[in-house]
Amino acid sequence: MKENLDKVKFAASKALTRLMMKALDESRLQIEAQTMRFADAKPPPIAEESRGIAERFMNSLHDYFEELTTLLVNDTEIEPESYDNLSLVDHDYLEAMIAMEGMVKQLRDKEIKGMRSFLTRLETMYPNIRIDETNNPLDPEQVGDCFNEAVKPLGFKAHYLLTIYREFNKTVFGKYDDVIAEANDLLVDLGILPDLDITARERELRKQKRDEARAQLVEEQQLKAAEEQAEPKARMT
């Protein structure tokens, strides 16, 4: 199963890094346009640092996949990063971290398409490990953390970081369904619960038909009630 997980690791990290690089390039163009308005302003060296950012980002993604395979049975509690010493964290970077937390929450709240199927397939591969948002290597929080760590060494100012993070949200999180779909497709090709999504679609279709039937029944009942109310009035006239 480690071999199968490695294939997902490399494919997903490649897809996410490609999107992340696109976000960096888009934010670079925006920042350069902003700094042109001010004579003494100098844009951060995003283009020069992009390769290093990409390497750190991808390596961190790989680490999350590796952590999953080294977990002990039922030992799924991963300690979150401690923020006890927030006073020691650079203020500009702290603003970016807070922005990332909001973006992660927003993405989770809308429910990522295909994520449940992805988790089910991972749990099939590793039945002794309970996999959830705390240790899922493709959970948005893990991916956001990888990006945080990738840009942290650069020491960019908050207004530049927020522009970069907005583009990350738009370009990476905005295409997250596609990343998860690609991961699911790869696992299907590897024979991991190939009928799972078909079953899920069938359940969704059955639910849709039930909802339509209920709506039609309610409509018919309302029409019948309206007709019954109209009959006495018709007799009176």
Q: Is the pLDDT of residue 48 over 50?
A: yes
Give tens-digit pLDDT for 121-159. 999 999 988 899 999 999 999 999 999 999 999 999 999
Task: Indicate the SS3 state at residue 87.
Answer: helix
Q: How long, in residues, is the chain? A: 237
Buried b (16+ CB within 10 A) or exposed e, 166-201: bbbbbbbbebbeebbbbbbebbbebebbeebbeeee
**Would you state the pLDDT for residue 237?**
57
Distance from C-alpha of 135 to C-alpha of 65, rounded to nearest angstrom: 9
Separation of alpha carbons 71 and 119, rounded Å: 16
- List, for residues 172-182, the tens digit of each pLDDT value: 999 999 999 99
Q: Are the C-beta atoms of residues 179 and 17 closer than 8 Å to each other?
A: no
| pLDDT tens by residue, 83-128 | 444 444 578 888 899 999 999 999 999 889 999 999 999 999 999 8
